[in-house]
Homo-oligomer: A and B are copies of this chain.
């Protein structure tokens, strides 16, 4: 489980987007700055390399932020079995199905799922309550980080999805960064998930701190306003 408040400033620490430093260095700097979630993604890493990156992150972050592993449930389980402070996994629609993931990680781990279509939400609603803790919803805008994403939602499309997905905290992802917090909160987002805005920054600590400050400063939207079905 994860409290919605903890999703506010969500870093996808994507190994392919980080140059000149390690994933763990980047993640630690972002958490120093105020990132509340770090998801370690390494689609091009071997499982051994990903486990090492996750273990390094866990040691550096030491529970000060929620630490998630992208896709590789086995890497999460291996890190957890090593006694490391790692909190869960984030999976996409082509990764292991969410109900299988929940069964493997148990009830206490965080499970996040990427979703942006009504059909995906309908499939999710056929699963037991508690299968998924939050949704990553996007892309808001086109982004070079993920070339296979569907058409961008924009904030209107995001708000419409959030209204449908009322029982799930929704994190906005895809081409978002500085300057987006107010629009994200107005659209009902539980958080803003960034890749390049932190991974490509020369000062990831400051970049994360600015995102967190902007998020705190933006007026939260009352649930009745942000979550009304359209």
Contacts and interface: CB of A to CB of B under 8 A. Distances in A.
A161 B48 CA distance: 24
Interface stretch (A73-81, A122-130, A206-214): A73-81
A62 interface: no
Interface in A81-117: 81-82, 91, 93-97, 100-101, 103-104
Contacts of A93: 48
A77 B73 CA distance: 10
A118 interface: no
A101 B73 CA distance: 12
A82 to B, nearest CB: 8
Nearest to A94: B46
Interface of A is mostly: helix
A92 to B, nearest CB: 8
Contacts of A97: 48, 51, 78
Contact of A94 (B47, B72, B94, B95): B47
A49 interface: yes
Contacts of A72: 74
A71 interface: yes
B71 A96 contact: no
Given A77-B104, A104-B74, A96 B49 contact: no
A124 to B, nearest CB: 15
A95 B47 CA distance: 5
Given A74-B72, A74-B73, A48 B104 contact: no
18 contacts: A46-B94, A47-B91, A47-B96, A48-B94, A48-B95, A73-B74, A73-B78, A74-B104, A75-B96, A77-B77, A77-B104, A78-B96, A78-B101, A78-B103, A81-B100, A81-B103, A81-B104, A82-B100
Interface of A: 46-49, 51, 71-75, 77-78, 81-82, 91, 93-97, 100-101, 103-104
